[in-house]
Amino acid sequence: MDIISVVVVDDHPLFRQGVADSLAIDRSLKIVGQAAHGDKALEMIMHLRPNVAVVDVNLPGMNGQQITHEITSERIPTNVILMTAYDDGEQMLHAAIAGAHAFCSKDIQPDDLNKLVHTVSTGAYVMGGQMMDSKDYEIWLSKQLDSVRRSYSEPGSPFHPLSDREMEVLIRVVEGKSNKEIASLLGISHQTVKNHITSILRKFGVEDRTQAVVYALKRGWVKLNYEKRFQE
């Protein structure tokens, strides 16, 4: 029997332990770590490289979307299930763009979460209760983005508030590049990249990189590169 290693991340001790205990009942699942803080969670996942990480969206330090983005950017072989108490379409889109393999509400039944962990461990994606392989997921995400663009169209307002350099940085963020990779590609310092990203977040009025990507995609200012996003 193949053992699936799992890390559970949530800042509420009782909920986190409840998830871990529920999953541990299944002998094919092994809880290899737990974390309450986003930064610590990322360190743990990068060190342990579990098959699956069950991660709360709202965390102190790095949030769940940021953790997922870093895991995806660094090509860590861990498939993420993002959980939230506020289950809505926009958060699901944020999760998908960040690189999550699944998104679900915290009121999910224990048996359903168990099945979700098993499904995600195979490399499949589950969004909105729909299970997909990478090809179907690419099509699904494309349709979701097309839908939000149409619903958020701004005829006659094609202009963005970013400088040319900020737009260059944003495009690299959309491609899933890390700050270090962006600095190398653009020939600027790591701190300069961080400064540009801070400026982008401030201008867009959002809290993190994933939300900035959604904001720009909705308005058609950038496009998601599916070939790179789903490249094996």
pLDDT (tens digit per residue) in 153-193: 444 444 568 888 998 999 888 877 888 889 999 999 999 99
Q: What is the pLDDT, as a whole number, of residue 149? A: 58
Q: Of 31-35, 82-86, 213-217, which gets the smallest average pLDDT?
A: 213-217
What pTM, to 2 d.p., does this model score? 0.74
Q: Of 20-29, 69-78, 112-121, 156-165, which gets the smallest average pLDDT?
A: 156-165
Q: What is the pLDDT, as a whole number, of residue 177? A: 82
CA–CA gap between residue 24 and residue 193 (Å, rounded): 41
Edge-to-edge strands, sheet with 79-84: 29-35, 4-9, 52-56, 79-84, 102-105, 125-127, 130-132
Domains identified in the chain and CATH numbers:
4-132 (3.40.50.2300), 164-229 (1.10.10.10)
For residues 85-112, give the mean pLDDT. Answer: 87
For residues 128-153, give the mean pLDDT. Answer: 79
pLDDT band per the 50, 70, 90 thresholds, residue 204:
confident
CA dihedral 8, 121, 139, 207 (to 10 degrees): 20
pLDDT band per the 50, 70, 90 thresholds, residue 148:
low
Asked whether the predicted pLDDT for residue 203 surpasses 50, the reply is yes
Q: What is the pLDDT, as a whole number, of residue 224? A: 65
The sign of the dihedral angle between the CA atoms of 225, 69, 73, 99 is: negative
Q: What is the pLDDT, as a whole number, of residue 1? A: 65
For residues 74-78, give the mean pLDDT. Answer: 92
Q: Is residue 36 within 8 Å of 63, Cβ to Cβ?
A: no
Which has more pLDDT, 58 or 87? Answer: 58
